[in-house]
Amino acid sequence: MLAIEEISKTFGGVRALSEVSLSCGAGEILGLIGPNGAGKSTLVNVISGVVTPDKGAITLAGGDIGAMATEGRARAGVARTFQNIKLFKDLTVRQNVEVAHITCVSARRDVAATIDIDTLLERYGLAALADLAAGTLAYGAQRRLELVRALALGPVLLLLDEPAAGLNELESEALAEAIEDIRATVGCAVIVIDHDLGFINRLCDRLCVMDQGRVIADGGTEDVWSNPKVIEVYVGTSTAHSAH
């Protein structure tokens, strides 16, 4: 589904991404983790077209999307949420979702026809809030709206940058269920970034661990958590040694 090959990106003197290669299949939930500044958001920004890489290739369902602008990628089904919520705050909840749906209609009318906005609002607890300005919603509801807006795009690939940040335990459990439900019903590829490792371990089939712009581990959850490089990054060398 998604294949990225040898992506590099430097901001001034900072090497945010260094020869990063990664793939994600349809129906797969991939957790992208790593310490602050590892390059996770930059990678998601490169995939969605917000940041232009210095080198590397990106293909979605076999098609090269590397040269497309953000809008083109959205029409192709690359949907995302942001680390810092980016809604149209003055538009209503419903209008926020409609804007995404219109984008889908313009590019993939057949997919758009399968998406019912009222059903989505109902399913994610936003029906009663549909006519309120998005900016007036409580934080948890704004996060849900971002997700619903991404779903209205008919995602082929769904990118979630720290969706559980700032949610309480109950809310993040509900979010994990919602993402599992999306995998089952939409069948898209999902890449989810989060620092809440309980949330990530519960949700993901596969983990990709980044550190200082590089992928240091990629595989099943158990394999990744027993990888010495990952232990070193998460626990620290001296602590890891003293534990033996």
Ligand X SMILES: Nc1ncnc2c1ncn2[C@@H]1O[C@H](COP(=O)(O)OP(=O)(O)OP(=O)(O)O)[C@@H](O)[C@H]1O
Q: List residues binding ligand X (CB under 6 A).
A: 11, 14, 16, 34, 36-42, 83
Residue 81 binding partner per list Mg ion, ligand X, none, with a CB distance cut-off of 5 to 8 Å that depends on partner kind: none
Within residues 64-93, the interface with Mg ion by CB under 5 A covers 83
CB of 90 to Mg ion, least distance (A): 26
Amino acid in the structure at residue 57: A
Residue 38 binding partner per list Mg ion, ligand X, none, with a CB distance cut-off of 5 to 8 Å that depends on partner kind: ligand X
DSSP state of 133: B
Which of residues 83 and 212 has its CB atom nearest to Mg ion in the complex?
83
Residue 31 binding partner per list Mg ion, ligand X, none, with a CB distance cut-off of 5 to 8 Å that depends on partner kind: none
How does 124-157 read in b/e, with b if 16+ C-beta sit within 10 Å?
A: bebeebbeebbeebeebbbbbbbbbbbbbbbbbb
Which among 47, 24, 74, 26 has a CA at the least distance from the CA of 183? 26
Asked if 96 is part of the footprint of Mg ion (rule: CB under 5 A), the reply reads: no
For 69, phi then psi, to 5°, come to -75, 170
Which of residues 160 and 175 has its CB atom nearest to Mg ion in the complex?
160
Which of residues 34 and 155 has its CB atom nearest to ligand X in the complex?
34
Residue 14 binding partner per list ligand X, Mg ion, none, with a CB distance cut-off of 5 to 8 Å that depends on partner kind: ligand X
Q: Of 22, 41, 46, 104, which lies in the binding site for Mg ion, with binding defined by CB under 5 A?
A: 41
Residue 163 binding partner per list ligand X, Mg ion, none, with a CB distance cut-off of 5 to 8 Å that depends on partner kind: none
Which of residues 41 and 142 has its CB atom nearest to ligand X in the complex?
41
C-alpha 87, offset from chain centre: 16
Q: Which two tokens stand for residue 24?
A: 């994600």
How far from each other are the two terminal CA atoms of the chain, in whole angstroms? Answer: 41
Cα pseudo-dihedral 50, 102, 134, 69, rounded to 10? 10
Asked if residues 134 and 93 have their Cβ atoms less than 8 Å apart, the reply is yes
Q: Determine the residue with CB nearest Mg ion.
A: 41
Neighbours of 202 (CB within 10 A): 15
CB of 229 to ligand X, least distance (A): 16
Which ranges constitute the DSSP H helices of the chain?
40-48, 70-75, 93-107, 109-112, 117-123, 139-151, 169-185, 197-203, 221-225, 228-235, 237-242
Asked if 45 is part of the footprint of Mg ion (rule: CB under 5 A), the reply reads: no
CB of 41 to Mg ion, least distance (A): 3
CB of 198 to ligand X, least distance (A): 17
CB of 139 to ligand X, least distance (A): 18
**Binding site residues, Mg ion, CB under 5 A:** 40-41, 83
